[in-house]
Amino acid sequence: MKEIQDFTILSSAFVNREHFLMKVQLSKPLLPVFAGQFVEIKVADEPDVFLRRPISVHDVDYNDNTISFLIRVCGKGTDKLSRLRPEESVNIVYPLGKGFTVEQGKYLLVGGGCGLAPLYYLARQLNEVGVFPDILFGVRNAEALLDMEKYQDVGNVYVTTEDGSVGERGFATQHSILNHPENYTHICTCGPEAMMKAVAQYAARHHIRCEVSLENTMACGIGACLCCVTETVDGHNLCVCTEGPVFDAATLKFSKM
Amino acid sequence: MIQLAVNIKELALKNPVMTASGTFGYGTEFEDFIDVGRLGGIVVKGTTGSRREGNPYPRMAETPAGMLNAVGLQNKGVDAFIADIYPNIRHYQTNIIVNVSGSTIDEYVSIAEKINALDDIPAIELNISCPNVKEGGMAFGTSCSSAHHVVEAVRKAYSKTLIVKLSPNVGNIAEIAMAVEDAGADSVSLINTLLGMAIDANTRKPVLSTITGGLSGPAVKPVALRMVWQVYKAVRIPIIGLGGIMNATDAIEFLLAGATAIQVGTANFIDPQVTIKIIDGIEEYCGRHGVKSINELIGYAHKY
């Protein structure tokens, strides 16, 4: 079940130079939303931001019917979105796509850049079934780090920075916790394509189940335009918006390249 | 009571609002948002003789007041449509129209024959205007003789309402419309997308995997309106107008230019409920302007 609703912005503020955290509220009960799902937000009635923007769900609170988004400003649409103020209304189509598998297991969540966003809600959902995941963040430098304390509440946090300013120096896939693949049965990853490919290849080498969350450009978000496709290992094109955005990495050609 | 019903030859529409092929899936994608039974018709995704995977990603680029797509007719083929999709949508309280596309005249004819046998499909829309495939598609729709050939062949194989979707990527669209009318088409729908491209200044590369793609959205509306106007002067068969219709006012403009019905395309991506708003808006417009039947509006602007 999906619906289109006007939400009210409760709060919106930058958490570092590039990312802002926006919380929106619905005046009636939310439909169930799962970790890894996304929404399509109508940003503005302007010709240069013509389409909706697909945004992943960062957190959900059914007590006050709010959804939070952690958004990186990366173009005109997200820039306009960041300028909306509390009490303004945003039109949202939700919940969209298929999310991460939440079940018993030894989970490692690997996020790079804005790919951290959906991993917070994933960790919270894992906590609800008694799983306390390891969470590995790869970022450029200390300045790009997000609110680590919040993540420490829901998992064991490990960090790599490219300049070594926080945590281990290097990329996420070079962190020393990966020297112990036997510690994991599930890996979930979201972030830059190169990082997700490296994570998927690591998981494949060690026979660990791996789910990747793709962010292909899309128009409709509901499987009508067929623009956001990714290719499976058997040569079929699947819509990222309806068959994903979370996929078993082993099924995609993406992870093999 | 305002009369919204229109006829495209034997195809009776409860109102003039249809959905454009490739923008509404098979209707099922929109069931959470609207009662699809309120629509005048649904033109389903372009259907080919066998399964097609379409073009590689990236297939889409946002442009000012519009978008480019290069999907390339991804679909599971006519047999899978009949076996897997048709049973789930045939009960819809609206007209299901199959958009038919092929690489050869034989492929068009073979699909048309198969669809002709389906009780709950009252019409096909012959796509001789897809700009995103290497063979067939637009190649049939850009010369009068090839357009005539394919429509004539399909006409012999297909007994129900035959709509032909025209390409705007031609010198004189009215001549193509006359050719397909002469070949036995019951109606023409126009326009398909306009050939365009996008380049990313940062990467210095074309955005689409296919380099070029089809432009749609409000950016193309004035071109589409002009072509409907010209075709209305050239043919007697009913016209279905489309191209950048975002609201009821846009839809009314196409009716005034000479369209008997309209299709809503790209707007479905932005507002999955837009078709219903357009139907309600047309009715409201008629009430406000004392229009008793939608037929009064068709081609009205030509009086001036």
List the single residue in A with minimal CA-CA distance to B54.
Answer: A237
In Å, how far from its chain's centre is CA B68? 16
Q: Are residues A150 and A233 in the same domain?
A: yes
In a domain, A101, yes or no: no
Residue B171 neighbours by CB under 8 Å, 6+ apart: none
Q: Looking at residue B213, what is its pLDDT?
A: 97
Using the 8-state DSSP alphabet, how is residue B293 labeled?
B
Cα-trace Rg, chain A? 18
Domain termination site, one of A73, A96, A119: A96
The answer to whether residue A188 is domain-embedded is yes
Q: Which residue of A has its CA nearest to B74?
A: A226
User: Smallest CA–CA separation between B162 and chain A, in Å?
Assistant: 24
Check B53 against A227: CB less than 8 A apart.
Answer: no
Mean pLDDT across B241-262: 98
DSSP per residue, chain A: --EEEEEEEEEEEESSSSEEEEEEE-SSPPPP--TT-EEEEE--SBTTB-S-EEEE--EEETTTTEEEEEEE--SHHHHHHHT--TT-EEEEEEEESB-----SS-EEEEEEGGGHHHHHHHHHHHHHTT---EEEEEESSGGG---HHHHHTTSEEEEEETTSSSSEES-GGG-GGGG-GGG-SEEEEES-HHHHHHHHHHHHHTT-EEEEE-----SSSSSSS--SEEEBTTS-EEEHHHH-BEEEGGGBGGGG-
Would an 8 Å CB–CB cutoff place A216 in contact with chain B? yes
Question: How far is Cα A37 from Cα A29, in angstroms, rounded to an integer?
Answer: 18
Residues A75 and A187 in one domain: no
* Residue of A41, A225, A241 for testing the chain B interface, max B β-carbons within 10 Å: A225
Judgement on whether residues A248 and A209 belong to the same structural domain of the protein = yes
Reference B261, options B252, B269, B274; nearest CA is: B252
Contact A226 B71 (CB under 8 A): yes
Count of domains for chain A: 2
Percent of chain A with pLDDT over 90: 90
Structural domains of chain B in order of their starting residue, each with its CATH number: 6-54+71-194+216-303 (3.20.20.70)
Mean pLDDT (whole number) for B78-93: 98
Which residues of chain B have a CB within 8 Å of the CB of A93?
Answer: 272
Closest to A104 in 3D by CA, of A120, A137, A121, A128: A128
For residue A257, what pLDDT is reported?
65
End-to-end CA distance of chain A: 35
> Residue A222's closest chain B neighbor by CA?
B29
* Mean pLDDT, chain A, integer: 95
Report ipTM for this prediction.
Answer: 0.94
8 Å CB contact of A237 and B269: no
The domain boundary residue, chosen from A75, A96, A117: A96
Of A50, A189, A23, A184, which Cα lies nearest the Cα of A118? A189
Per-residue pLDDT tens over the stretch B125-171: 999 987 777 777 778 888 999 999 999 999 999 999 999 999 999 99
- Per-residue pLDDT of B29-49, as tens digits, reads 999 999 999 999 999 999 999
Which three-class secondary structure string do you get for B219-235? HHHHHHHHHHHHHHHHC
Query: pTM of the predicted model, to two decimals?
Result: 0.96
From residue B124, give the alpha-carbon distance in Å to each of B59, B141, B147, B159.
26, 16, 16, 10
- CATH at residue A132: 3.40.50.80
Quick check: is A70 in a domain? yes
- Give residue-wise pLDDT tens across range A63-96: 999 999 999 999 999 999 999 999 999 999 999 9
C-alpha of A133 from chain center? 16
Pair (A154, A182) in one structural domain: yes
Nearest to A212 by CA among A256, A246, A240: A246
Share of chain B above pLDDT 70, in %: 100
Neighboring chain B residues of A4 at a CB cutoff of 8 Å: 33, 271-273
Interchain contact, B218 vs A47, CB within 8 Å: yes
Measure A245 CA to nearest chain B CA, in Å: 15
Residues A125 and A154 in one domain: yes
Does residue A55 lie within any of the structural domains? yes
**Cβ contact B71–A48 (<8 Å):** no
- In angstroms, the CA A236 to CA A229 distance is 9
Residues of A in contact with B59 (CB under 8 A): 226-229
Closest chain B C-alpha to A49 CA, distance in angstroms: 7
Chain B residues touching A244 at Cβ < 8 A: none
Judged by a CB distance cut-off of 8 A, whether residue A224 touches chain B is yes
- B70, B130, B177, B240: the active-site residue: B130
Residue A217 falls inside a structural domain: yes
B65 contacts on A by Cβ (under 8 Å): 47, 50
A13 confidence band (pLDDT: 50, 70, 90) = very high
Q: Which of A96, A127, A155 is the last residue in one of the domains? A: A96
Q: Do B33 and A48 touch (CB under 8 A)?
A: no
Q: Specify if A218 maps to a domain.
A: yes
Are A73 and A171 part of one and the same domain?
no
- Within a domain: residue A30? yes
* Both structure tokens of B66: 């519009």
Tell me the average pLDDT of chain B. Answer: 96
Residue A102 lies inside a defined structural domain of this protein = no
Residues of B at the A interface, defined by Cβ within 8 angstroms? 22-25, 29-30, 32-33, 45, 53-54, 56-67, 69, 71, 74, 217-219, 266, 268-273
Under DSSP, the state recorded for B28 is: G
Residues A204 and A249 placed together within one structural domain of the fold: yes
Q: Tens of pLDDT along B269-297?
A: 999 999 999 999 999 999 999 999 999 99
Please enumerate in sequence order all residues whose Cβ is within 8 A of that of B263, keeping only pairs 6 or more positions apart, or say none: B18, B19, B20, B43, B189, B240, B241, B242, B245
Specify whether A166 is located in the same domain as A252: yes
Tabulate helix, strand, coil % of chain B (nearest 5): 35, 25, 40
Give the pLDDT mean for A122-135.
98
Does one domain contain both A147 and A233?
A: yes
| Claim to verify: residue A233 and residue A120 sit in the same structural domain | yes
Range of the domain at A157: 107-256
| B130 classed as catalytic | yes
Partner-chain residue, chosen from A51, A93, A217, that has the shortest CB–CB distance to B272: A93
Count Cβ–Cβ pairs < 8 Å, chain A vs chain B.
95
Give the distance from residue B68's alpha carbon to the nearest chain A alpha carbon, in angstroms: 10
Q: CB of A220 within 8 Å of any CB in chain B?
A: yes
Q: Which residues of A touch B270 (CB under 8 A)?
A: 42, 50-52
A249 and A196 part of one domain: yes
d(CA A212, CA A199): 9
CATH code of A84's domain: 2.40.30.10
Please tell me whether residues A147 and A50 are part of one structural domain: no
DSSP state of B296: G
Cβ-based contacts of B217 with chain A (< 8 Å): 50
**Residue A256 confidence (pLDDT) above 80:** no
The pLDDT of A161-174, averaged and rounded, is: 92
CB contact under 8 A, A230 and B57: yes
